[in-house]
Amino acid sequence: MGEGATDVGSASRAIFDAACAVIPGGVNSATRAVGAPWAFTRAEGARMWDADGREYLDYHAAFGAILLGHCDPRVDEPVRETIGRIDLTGYGVTELEVEYGRLVCESIASVDTSLATNTGTEATLQAVRLARAITGRRYVVKFQGNFHGWHDAVARNVISPPERAYKLDPLSAGILPDAFAATLIAEYNDVGSVQALFDEYPEQIAAVIFEAIPHNVGALLPTREFSDGLRELTRREGALLICDEVITGFRHGLGGYQAVLELEPDLTTFGKGIANGYPVAGIGGRRELMERFSSAGGDVVVAGTFNGHAVGMAAAVATMTHLRDHGDDFYPRVHALGARMREGLQRIADELGIAATAAGFGSVFCLYFMDGPIRGYRDLMRNDDAAYVAFHRRMTERGILMLPLSLKRNHVSDAHTEEDVDRTLEVAEEVLRELA
């Protein structure tokens, strides 16, 4: 079922070619060029338009950062109002930052204080560094298949091919082997694999970092046994538990997925959906841990010219306020749309006799090309990646935009409607019938 890249129109192609002359590979983030050399010129609500005027129903949602919809006036108007008044002060604090901090602390039960960053990568970097400073220990445990950004401590073992899974699988060249050696790899949904690392490295593990739901490989839902087990184990072993909610935070509930799990991690990282597409992320946790940051007189450096920029803060305040005030409508609505999509995809695959599993939670859905049950990364190695690539290509050609990478997830936003989902399912049926 191997297929090449999606055809794009001549206007997209011309912009992309111009980009290649001044940007390495034509894009500012590598996975943006997977599948097709696109150029987009407009985004609104649940839709985007490419330079050739082709319309797409968007479930990529900028890797999940778009939560309410593209260019949503509920966020963009407060941003415009803010720009006319203040930008970046570089000194002291603004009332917007206070409001942002208050909303984060009110939203996430385990967070007493929080710091704003611009990206999720900065947030998880801060979390790992803080954990090492607090515990005085060297090692960090991450899970095969989890992604926490691209800094040295975590840039390994995400979507690894079978021969490199659980072994050293760097995301990047140029990282010192020592950095990789200080990060240990465990199996998601298997507390025993984490216990084995604590046994092998007694009193040397600073933190366990995990995705609340590993959406970077679709949707491996954590069992309660796993999340409770991680909490108990890290507490007993004197390590910190870092819950990475960069995708799940605010998307799956105001309190994040940790609220669903009734979990109290030591530190939480969040980003993406918090500001509906504006560059804001953050780290939060218990007050006494966060006091180790240099902003509070501690010894773990906090710096960043753009941290707390008024534009991002205004967007985050508007998004969180909307979710707080209208969450009783918003969450059930997008969760129902997500469920409609997952149930529809599964029904179609079953009727056509295709070995596929629709998975996800809330507004997130993905289609694995394999039978269930799917609990851990080992199960994912049975996925038919070529089938996904073919599915993706044919969906995009028909105007349905999804993440081009096999195993990744897709997102419904507040701007999607039942009609959008039903239209998507009609197209999916057509495509899957062709592929059956």
Judged by the rule CB under 6 A, the positions of this chain that interact with ligand PLP are 63, 119-121, 124, 147-149, 211, 216, 244, 246-247, 271, 281
- How does 350-365 read in b/e, with b if 16+ C-beta sit within 10 Å? eeeebebbbbbbbbbb
Contacts for 195 with CB less than 8 Å, ≥ 6 apart: 233
**β-pair type (139-143, 205-211):** parallel
Q: Which is nearer to ligand PLP, 272 or 392 (CB)?
A: 272
Q: Which is nearer to ligand PLP, 348 or 407 (CB)?
A: 407
Contacts for 339 with CB less than 8 Å, ≥ 6 apart: none
Q: Nearest distance from residue 120's CB to ligand PLP, in Å? A: 2
Closest CA to 230 of 205, 204, 201: 205
Closest CA to 50 of 84, 15, 91, 100: 15
Q: Which is nearer to ligand PLP, 268 or 396 (CB)?
A: 268
Q: What is the rounded distance in angstroms from the CA atom of residue 186 to the CA atom of residue 142?
A: 6
Q: Which is nearer to ligand PLP, 35 or 277 (CB)?
A: 277
HSE toward the beta carbon, residue 43, CA cutoff 13 A: 19
Angle subtended at Cα 407 by Cα 401 and Cα 408, rounded to the nearest 5 degrees: 45
* Residue 143 host element (H or E): strand 139-143
Q: Which is nearer to ligand PLP, 198 or 365 (CB)?
A: 365
Q: Which is nearer to ligand PLP, 31 or 89 (CB)?
A: 31
Name the one residue in this structure whose structure tokens are 């197209």.
427
Report the 3 state secondary structure along 198-259.
Answer: HHHCCCCEEEEEEECCCHHHCCCCCCHHHHHHHHHHHHHHCCEEEEEECCCCCCCCCCCHHH
Q: Nearest distance from residue 170's CB to ligand PLP, in Å? A: 17
Q: Nearest distance from residue 28's CB to ligand PLP, in Å? A: 12
Q: Nearest distance from residue 42's CB to ligand PLP, in Å? A: 23
Q: Nearest distance from residue 214's CB to ligand PLP, in Å? A: 8
Q: Nearest distance from residue 241's CB to ligand PLP, in Å? A: 15
Q: Which is nearer to ligand PLP, 216 or 383 (CB)?
A: 216
Q: Nearest distance from residue 220's CB to ligand PLP, in Å? A: 12
Q: What is the rounded distance in angstroms from the CA atom of residue 68 to the CA atom of residue 319?
A: 8
Q: What is the rounded distance in angstroms from the CA atom of residue 259 to the CA atom of residue 107?
A: 10
Residue number, nearest CB to ligand PLP: 120
Q: Nearest distance from residue 126's CB to ligand PLP, in Å? A: 12
Q: Which is nearer to ligand PLP, 16 or 278 (CB)?
A: 278
Q: Which is nearer to ligand PLP, 50 or 244 (CB)?
A: 244
DSSP secondary-structure letter at 273?
G
- Counting DSSP H helices and E strands in the chain, the numbers are 14, 14
Q: Nearest distance from residue 11's CB to ligand PLP, in Å? A: 28
